[in-house]
Structure 1
Amino acid sequence: MGLGLREAGGGLRESFSRMVNRLQRVAIFGFVAYALLAAGAWVWVSHVSSPHIADSVRDVTPVQAGLVLGASPRNRNGDAPNAYFAYRIDAAAALYKAGKIQYLVVSGDRRDDGYDEPTAMRDALVAEGVPPDRIYRDAAGFHTRDSVARAHLLFGLSDAIVISQRFHAERAIFMARAHGLRFSGYAAQDVDAYFGVLTMARETFSRIVALVDAYTSDRAAKGKAITLGSDTPS
């Protein structure tokens, strides 16, 4: 009786051990597969987009408008300014003052609870000396792909300058050019590596999603078409 129980217990331990080993192998395989996919997506997006991004204002080819991608004006905790936001505003204002763009479309998220990225961006640009009648808000830029699609479908832009940090501008330009748009970019100053770790980790997944969106879907845009310079900014 005792021997039988010991043998049964040993068999259960062996089965459990084999199951754990299989799960470990599956987990390792999944991690390696994801890492390879993420690395491939990162390299491909950068390869397509990087040649179209300028790091200096003097290297930017003038176009009608710049597309400023949304960010919160405050950090995740709400207790300090968001450097991503501040640097994008600085970059957009610099392009306007240099005569590289005539108008700015600020595209981001706006919610019923008072969170309003486009209005915050517009107000910050006005504070930097950009006239308010040169700034158009898009409050349905919930994702980068939405901002890109709406810039074309609602604001009529086929060649715009995407203004954001380089990694973000690369992804937006990649999606735009996959759909035949001649978007280029201007790289805003990046944040210190320490503060950008979570953002860059999220970017690895976002680039995989960008590949899917770019080659498998067309984004529909809801709203009234706007002609820059003719229609009054909202």
Structure 2
Amino acid sequence: MKRVKKIILASVIGLVLIIFVVLGVEAIFQRQTAGLIYKDISRVPASETVIILGASVHANGKLSPILQDRVDTAIRLYENGRVNNFLVTGDHRSDDYNEVAAMVSYLEEKGIDKSLITSDHAGLDTYDSMYRAGKLFDIKSATVVTQAFHLPRTLFIAKNLGFDYQGFVADQRHYQTEYRLKQREKLANFKALWEVLLKKKPRTLEARLN
């Protein structure tokens, strides 16, 4: 019985420690990036490029609500004179799934000239997208659009890679998967921290995957 109690106590202590570490890493990300995140478009400093991070696309090529809000937010920044051009970055690792083409098509439907759009077909995750934006596409001044729960990790990565990026919140509605995504984000923070500490290189530095 004593052994069982010790095991239970150790498990509880271990769980509490894990929770503290998870919340601690999240707090570090938020503290380092709080001054870089904007919600009021009138306060967003002008930058050269708006970076749109990819998210899921439906089988018919239609943007998911999360991705549509990111792209619509980027268009708002452009229409308000806060940015001059677009970088769309996302997953295109197979012929039958292409986040980038879907975003470009949507932008063009909304009246954005194709000459203003740069496509990154190998932004397989947030770290790769940020790394490639600065190192491959040589973007020095940028506003990143994504949801509020995603911005601290995104900007923590960019800041620690030496890029002078800021973020603008793309939340325009409640998302059905928001709770799950927020919990996933807590775990993704550890991956981002590890990648930043190692100065990891993306899977590819080519313009797109083959």
Fold-level similarity (TM above 0.5): yes
Q: Distance in 2 between the 1:45 and 1:51 partners?
A: 11
**How many residues of Structure 1 are paired with residues of Structure 2 in the alignment?**
206
- Equivalent residue, structure 2, for 1:179: 161
How do residues 29-48 of structure 1 correspond to structure 2 at under 5 angstroms? 29-48=13-32
Deviations 1:165-220 (A, max 9, x none): 12212211111111221111111115426531110010011112222222332425
- Equivalent in 152, 171, 192 of residue 189 of structure 1: 171
Aligned residues: percent identity? 26
- Equivalent in 82, 91, 103 of residue 100 of structure 1: 82
- Equivalent residue, structure 1, for 2:121: 139
- Equivalent residue, structure 2, for 1:82: 64
Q: Distance in 1 between the 2:98 and 2:139 partners?
A: 23
- Equivalent in 21, 38, 63 of residue 54 of structure 1: 38
Report if aligned partners of 2:77, 2:83 keep a CA contact under 8 Å in 1: yes
Q: Distance in 2 between the 1:100 and 1:147 partners?
A: 21
**TM-score, normalised relative to structure 2:** 0.88
Deviations 1:24-82 (A, max 9, x none): 3343233212211111111111111121111122111111111111101339xx9x962
Larger Rg: 1
SS at match of 1:166: coil
Report if aligned partners of 1:37, 1:208 keep a CA contact under 8 Å in 2: no
Extract unaligned runs of 5+ from structure 1. Answer: 1-13, 226-234
Query: What is the RMSD of the two structures over their aligned residues, measured on CA atoms?
Result: 2.3
SS at match of 1:183: strand
- Equivalent residue, structure 1, for 2:133: 151
- Residues 25 and 105 of structure 1: is their aligned pair in 2 closer, same or farther, counting only changes over 3 Å? same
- Equivalent residue, structure 2, for 1:170: 152
Q: CA deviation at 1:99?
A: 1.8
Report if aligned partners of 1:73, 1:86 keep a CA contact under 8 Å in 2: no
SS at match of 1:67: strand
Q: Distance in 2 between the 1:213 and 1:62 partners?
A: 29
- Equivalent residue, structure 1, for 2:11: 27
